[in-house]
Amino acid sequence: MDQIQRVKIITKILNKTYPKISVPLKSRNTFTLLISVLLSAQCTDVNVNNVTKKIYPKYYKPEHFVRLGRKKIEKLIRKIGIFRIKAKSIFNLSKILVDDYKGKVPNTFDELEKLPGVGHKTASVVMSQGFGFPAFPIDTHIHRLAQRWGLTNGKNVIQTEKDLKKLFPKKNWNKLHLQIIYYGREYCKARDCFGITCKICSTCYPKRKKPLITKKA
């Protein structure tokens, strides 16, 4: 089975499993989406949502977080991993948005990636889910699955993003990256499937008998 055949099988299974898909991180607007994605680094979406559901009803604009200051932001997000570093980034990026962008989140990769604490993956999620711009956010989980499914050689997340963008139509990127995330969490888990048991792995690689060791991002 070649790569093109695997892409067709993967697309069919994902569309059948998740015909409709929702954004896992809860947000009130593009700014709170940006904050939630920043908070989700080294943290589960569930934990982020549990914390932000107490924040966003009252604080949902950059101006709000500038007025709060770093220490109060720390108290609000202290249940999140590396909360002090994230609080610093949230305060500093909020100040930049107020000073330079009239409180609006910029809608280009270049401008987003210049904000404190915002890397390419975070910018990709905001561009995709916040602005509807075709993007393919790649985290370590998608990187692992893409290797298992024979879609990339697994050098790093940058290479994986390039490979997936070549294989799948641009119009499908925004939905597809969410479908892969959900499928990985439910069926192709790191310590359960090992590239052998889930429907995608067993269909694409019926002769694979030994666990596949994937390369880290």
Q: What is the pLDDT of residues 140-188, one digit of tens each?
A: 889 999 999 999 987 899 999 999 999 999 999 999 999 999 999 999 9
pLDDT per residue as tens, the chain (217 positions)? 899 999 999 999 999 999 999 999 999 999 999 999 999 988 999 999 999 999 999 999 999 999 999 999 999 999 999 999 999 999 999 999 999 999 999 999 999 999 999 999 999 999 999 999 999 999 888 999 999 999 998 789 999 999 999 999 999 999 999 999 999 999 999 888 989 999 999 999 999 999 888 877 6
Q: In degrees, to the nearest 5, what angle opens at C-alpha 23 toward C-alphas 85 and 123?
A: 45
Verify whether residue 139 is a known catalytic residue. Answer: yes
From the candidates 45, 110, 121, 170, give the one annotated as an active-site residue: 121
From the candidates 8, 26, 79, 139, give the one annotated as an active-site residue: 139
What HEC string does 110-139 produce?
Answer: HHHHCCCCCCHHHHHHHHHHHCCCCCCCCC
Architecture of the 30-130 domain: Orthogonal Bundle (1.10)
Q: Where are the domains of the chain?
A: 3-21+136-204, 30-130
Fold of 3-21+136-204: Endonuclease Iii, domain 2 (1.10.1670)
